[in-house]
Amino acid sequence: EPEVTQTPSHQVTQMGQEVILRCVPISNHLYFYWYRQILGQKVEFLVSFYNNEISEKSEIFDDQFSVERPDGSNFTLKIRSTKLEDSAMYFCASSLLAGGNSGELFFGEGSRLTVL
């Protein structure tokens, strides 16, 4: 069964450092997303991406965050200067149709980011 893969599974970084989280969405999917879950809190939407541009972003997704689809397969989330409060599990997801309408976003297993 096709799946969304994410790397790294766990990254530890120092505050102020740049981090890039990588995702390989399902190959025929057109919509891509990043969500995050801070320990003990809800899964929160960060950003959606379609046709090589951001279609929607949350208030969390400030200028420190950026997303890119550098080639036909990868989808990356960059945090330019990490803060302690960026520590969370980051989930990449993809969908064939606009998420929700199709009923199904496929999520990766997550990348745990720890900022010290």
Q: Given the rule CB under 8 A, which residues bind other proteins? A: 4, 31, 33, 35, 41-45, 48, 50, 55-56, 58, 91, 93, 98-101, 103-110
Q: How far is the CB of 80 from other proteins (least distance, A)?
A: 23
Shortest Å, Cβ 46 to other proteins: 9
Give the residue with the Cβ less far from other proteins, 14 or 62: 62
Nearer to other proteins, 80 or 112 (CB): 112
114 token code pair: 């720890």
Q: Smallest distance, Å, CB 11 to other proteins?
A: 15
Position 111, amino acid = S
Cα–Cα distance, 81 to 72 (Å, whole number):
27
DSSP assigned state of 96: S
Tell me if the bond preceding 8 is cis, omega within 30° of 0: yes
For the chain, what is the radius of gyration of the CA atoms? 13
